[in-house]
Structure 1
Amino acid sequence: MTTDIDTSSSPLGVEIGALQGGSADLGQYAGQVVLVVNVASKCGLTPQYSGLERLHERYAERGFTVLGVPCNQFMGQEPGSAEEIAEFCSATYGVTFPMTEKAEVNGAGRHPLYERLVGFADADGHRGDIRWNFEKFLIGRDGEVVARFAPQAEPEAAEVVAAVEAQLA
């Protein structure tokens, strides 16, 4: 489901590669609800992949997707190649949601996708730099960020599910 929304200032208007090569084509998600998450394979929060996949499966038919963005900026916890990341996610957690290429989320090399995300504050007022792996941003059907969740927020936590359902209503 695509719409004619203007993605020029939206995170969905940014170009980023797909994990397995080519473009991730974020514009294809215009009119959908997207949960963008910086992910890592060797983090204490890595088991969140299971909850992310369940969330993705639960709401996919209603126009929702999780978008994983591998990042190696936090203690080198995503050191693998694209192939290694894809194999790990598929074999260990059964991940079917789309993944982008590895990207930096903080610092001088911050990817433009995260330039458009980090200005949004979470419920505690935190805005700016990503604090750790598995920080989550919810993008509404209009292409704008509507919620931000701390890394420790489980994907199936009540506040995350409520925010997703509100955007899908």
Structure 2
Amino acid sequence: MRLTLLFAAFVVLGLAFESAVPHLVSFRALIPNLIIILVVDLGLRHHGVVPAMLAFAIGYATDALAGSHPGLNAFMMTMVFLVSYEISTRLMVTNALVGATVVFFGVIATALATVAFADGFSALSDSGSMLGGLTLKAAVSAIVAPFIFSMLAASKRMTGLPVRAKRE
């Protein structure tokens, strides 16, 4: 229950940030994708059914607020969670560098998959113009990710939740 409440609070703050800041900053690539950072942390450090359902709920909340195609963000966040979970089970240690790398590729994969599902796979053939901004957004998200991970870790310590996966 504490895990759900903690991530719900961070998701509300993340969605509010991602909704409000584009009105202040004209270059959208400088806004990190906080939702993917939260899902990656969930996949790397929390295993089980409840974290998987939380990842789906985070994507569903994103769909409810800003999704153009219902269920697409829920599907993509669940996939990012599953990839993060698989990476955490295969590696001995999951540190901030691993998390930032997963965030980087998660932002790129999510954006490309969203374009492919929304506009058809033919839209990816002329996606060269968006790759520069997408790479910048992924890099900004990867740079911000360790700070968000540390904020989550401090919040988990304050609420009595485990900071790391049980096997670490």
TM-score (norm 1): 0.31
Q: Which has the larger radius of gyration?
A: 2
Using structure 2 for the length normalisation, give the TM-score. 0.31
Higher helix share: 2
More strand by share: 1
